[in-house]
Amino acid sequence: MRSSGWRGPCTPATSNAISPSSGETTGRTSATPPSTTGLFIGEPSAWNRGFGGDSIQTLVRFAFDEMNLGKLRINVFDYNDRAKHVLEALGFVQEGCLRRDFFREGSYHDIVILSKFRETNTLS
């Protein structure tokens, strides 16, 4: 993953996930001070190939070591088991839940709030 575009405090950092075989950008992660994080790998054919985990791992290091953030937080739809698996494997834990907060295909879903604090980080 390649980090780019961070211009200092109060601006978001975005990082591209780049396929080593094609050199194409497959996705993007971001961290916006003080704590908000986003993650997507755009092409479903690129899922489950390690890009998401690699991207988040690099972002975590960059956010804590370079941006000096104390916390990262990300909202995940409750049915997104893949995203939860990737984030929990990298030390994100559930700190809250917005119950029945999102309507999709006929029913309401919870939004799970996952977070990670710098002092618990072992990835650096």
Ligand X SMILES: CC(C)(COP(=O)(O)OP(=O)(O)OC[C@H]1O[C@@H](n2cnc3c(N)ncnc32)[C@H](O)[C@@H]1OP(=O)(O)O)[C@@H](O)C(=O)NCCC(=O)NCCS
45, with CB counted inside 10 A (0-12, 13-18, 19+), is exposed
Q: Which is nearer to ligand X, 68 or 96 (CB)?
A: 96
Please, what is the minimum distance in Å from the beta carbon of residue 3 to ligand X? Answer: 17
Q: Which is nearer to ligand X, 85 or 100 (CB)?
A: 85
Interface positions with ligand X (CB under 6 A): 27, 39-41, 47-53, 74, 76, 80-83, 85-86, 89
Residue closest to ligand X, measured at CB: 52
Pair 116, 92: CB distance under 8 Å: yes
Measure the CA–CA gap between 102 and 65, rounded to whole angstroms: 34
Q: Are strands 2-4 and 71-77 parallel, antiparallel or unpaired?
A: unpaired
Q: Which is nearer to ligand X, 33 or 38 (CB)?
A: 38
